Amino acid sequence: MPPFRHLPVMAEEVVTLLAPERGGLFVDCTIGLGGHAEALLQRGEHARLLGIDRDPEALRVASERLRPFGGRVRLALARFSEVAAALGGDEVDGGILADLGVSSLQLDSATRGFSLQREGPLDMRMGGGEGASDSVDGERDGDGSDERDIESVRGQSISAFDLVNEAP
């Protein structure tokens, strides 16, 4: 795979707010292609970084990109809800960044199922586990129409409002 170069959104603002030149440990909860992490580590020569992502492909790209920073970087294949375990007791004295959403690596690929421009399977997995096509396949009514299958799944969705009201 060719090296993936991509410009992170609002990198200057992120670096200004987090001020990595103070040093310390920073956590990037959604490291993606490593653009923000690279900017933080370049600006803060004593900053260290824990980078988390649930997408193994993104972690591979990020680890290649951040290789020049050597031991200042640690990466973990995890969900950001697992950040405490990934930290393993280390204190976050720098700052935390969460750039939520999908990455261009996921959007631009036909095989990941996020692209609106390229034909491909309805996968939509960010990491391992079940993809959207598994859910849709489980609801197939036999006529092979993706649109009908998706509609039948959508009909079962519960609104966020109902979930909040049902919460104990």
> Which residues lie below 8 Å from residue 126, measured CB to CB, with a gap of 6+?
54, 55, 102, 106
Contact segment (CB under 6 A) with ligand SAM among 48-56, 130-138, 142-150, 155-163 equals 48-56
- Does residue 32 touch ligand SAM according to CB under 6 A? yes
User: If you write DSSP's letter for every residue of 96-161 in order, what string do you get?
Assistant: EE---S--HHHHS-TTTT--SSS-------SSSS--HHHHHHHT--SS--HHHHHHHHHTT---HH
Helix (H) or strand (E) holding 76: strand 73-77
> Least distance in Å: CB of 8 to ligand SAM?
3
> Least distance in Å: CB of 5 to ligand SAM?
10
Instruction: Kindly tell me which residue out of 15, 18, 41, 54 binds ligand SAM, with binding defined by CB under 6 A.
Output: 54
> Least distance in Å: CB of 78 to ligand SAM?
7
SS3 assignment, position 24: strand
Instruction: Kindly tell me which residue out of 76, 103, 112, 114 binds ligand SAM, with binding defined by CB under 6 A.
Output: 103
Tell me which residues touch ligand SAM (CB under 6 A).
Answer: 8, 30, 32-36, 52-55, 58, 79-80, 99, 101-103, 126
